[in-house]
Amino acid sequence: MSSVAVFSPKASHGRSTDWLQAWLPKLVLAPSVVIVLVGFYAYILWTLLLSFTNSRFMPSYKWVGLAQYMRLMENDRWWVASQNLLVFGGLFIAISLCLGVLLAVLLDQRIRAEGAIRTIYLYPMALSMIVTGTAWQWLLNPGLGLDKLLRDWGWEGFRFDWLVDPDRVVYCLVMAAVWQASGFVMALFLAGLRGVDPSIVRAAQVDGASLPTIYLRIVLPSLRPVFFSSLMILAHIAIKSFDLVAAMTAGGPGYASDLPAMFMYTHTFTRGQMGLGAASAMLMLGAVLAILVPYLYSELRTKRHE
């Protein structure tokens, strides 16, 4: 090949542009490769390194081994935050899924104003969690919010002060988060329902199955992939939830509504506990991986089976 090219000046010119053409894709991708390797992976390792040091306001590289993780385990506030994440995440995911599926199934019954209704269910997803938090903080305001509304409407003894109740404040976060994300689950499932082969449903109807039975036994089980991807996204939102807590309760009262993301921010950036913050961030990454890896594993396995 090359011996032929050497004899022809035109071909050698062609070869230099060929060389450029061959390298161009790699050159174009190069900045992103650097960004990913440094900005994602090197930074994770850097944070991991910091979690093994006694860094406070400034990074220091004095190795303390697992001491920060031990401190985390003994930290009451961290346990409150983790427990809150379980309660918040569990309820948020369960309620959003149920509500989303229900609305999707109902909307799938040839509703005339479907487009408009869908738009209404989904609009909270376009808002910032800070806006959502602000709105719900006002809605649930003890004294002037829902509290007063229902009393004005004639329910004299109505009291609603969960927002300042350390034992119940986490449920307020659940309400706001469900309001924001359940429409999204609805949209995912509605898209999934549209992909179900109508002849299966018709066949079941012919066999005399009622509509609820058809959905519960046939249609919804066939939407397993949609279910799992919704689960993934909701879990991901729950673990990353920081803005909602910041705007709605700022972690309070006390630290009763703290979540790990909030814990990490507060300790790292306002309390000068950088090492501890880094350790908590690594545990958050661990939580994400604990959900992500089995999901990806099952995805790959089903793909191989297909």
Partner 1 sequence: MSDVSVAQRRSSDVLLPPGEGGAKRRMRAMSLSRLAIHATLILACALYLVPLVVMLLTSFKTPEDIRTGNLLSWPEAFTLIGWIKAWGVVGSYFWNSVMIVVPAVLISTVMGALNGYVLSMWRFRGSQLFFGLLLFGCFLPFQVILLPASFTLGKLGLANTTTGLVLVHVVYGLAFTTLFFRNFYVSVPEALVRAARLDGAGFFTIFGRILLPMSIPTIMVCLIWQFTQIWNDFLFGVVFASGDTQPITVALNNLVNTSTGIKEYNVDMAAAMIAGLPTLVVYVLAGKYFLRGLTSGAVKG
Binders of partner 1 in range 173-202 (CB under 8 A): 179, 183-184, 187-188, 191, 199, 202
Shortest Å distance, C-beta 195 to partner 1: 11
Residue 285 within binding range of partner 1, rule CB under 8 A:
yes
Q: Which is nearer to partner 1, 54 or 137 (CB)?
A: 137
Contact between 16 and partner 1 (CB under 8 A)? no
Sites for partner 1 among residues 76-105 (CB under 8 A): 103
> Within positions 107 to 166, which residues make up the interface with partner 1, using CB under 8 A?
107, 109, 111, 117, 119-132, 134-139, 141, 144-146, 148-149, 152
User: What's the half-sphere exposure (Cβ side, CA atoms, 13 Å) at 81?
Assistant: 29
Minimum CB–partner distance for residue 110 and partner 1 (Å): 9
**39, 90, 253, 254: which one contacts partner 1 (CB under 8 A)?**
39
The residue (of 80 and 188) whose beta carbon lies closer to partner 1 is: 188
Among 203, 216, 290, 300, binds partner 1 (CB under 8 A): 203
Farthest CA pair distance, the chain: 99
Q: Rule CB under 8 A: say whether 70 interacts with partner 1.
A: no
- Measure the N-to-C terminal CA separation of the chain; round to a whole number of Å: 42
Task: Answer whether 189's CB lies under 8 Å from 101's CB.
Answer: yes
Q: Which stretch binds partner 1 (CB under 8 A): 60-68, 70-78, 84-92, 236-244?
A: 236-244
CB 167 to partner 1: min, Å = 22
Among 239, 258, 266, 273, binds partner 1 (CB under 8 A): 239
Determine, following the binding rule CB under 8 A, whether residue 66 of this chain makes contact with partner 1: no
| Nearest residue (CB) to partner 1, 3 versus 9 | 9
Of 300, 285, 180, the residue nearest 228 (C-alpha)? 300
Residue from 106, 200, 216, 290 binding partner 1 (CB under 8 A): 106
Q: Residue 302: which residues within 8 A CB-CB, separation 6 or more?
A: 225
Locate 188 and state its tokens.
């995912």
Size of the site for partner 1 (CB under 8 A): 96
Among 46, 57, 79, 155, binds partner 1 (CB under 8 A): 46
Q: Which of residues 245-264 bind partner 1 (CB under 8 A)?
A: 246-247, 250, 261, 264
SS3 assignment for the chain? CHHHHHHCHHHHHHHHHHHHHHHHHHHHHHHHHHHHHHHHHHHHHHHHHHHCECCCCCCCCCECCCHHHHHHHHCHHHHHHHHHHHHHHHHHHHHHHHHHHHHHHHHCCCCCCHHHHHHHHHHHHHCCHHHHHHHHHHHCCCCCCHHHHHHHCCCCCCCCCHHHCCCCHHHHHHHHHHHHHHHHHHHHHHHHHHCCCHHHHHHHHHCCCCHHHHHHHHHCHHHHHHHHHHHHHHHHHHHHCCHHHHHHCCCCCCCCCCCHHHHHHHHHHHCCCHHHHHHHHHHHHHHHHHHHHHHHHHHHHHHHHC
54 binds partner 1 (CB under 8 A): no
**Stretch 264-283 residues interacting with partner 1 (CB under 8 A):** 264-265, 268-269, 274, 277-278, 280-282
Task: Say whether residue 172 binds partner 1 (CB under 8 A).
Answer: no
Shorter beta-carbon distance to partner 1: residue 100 or 170: 100
Least spacing, CB of residue 131 vs partner 1, in Å: 4
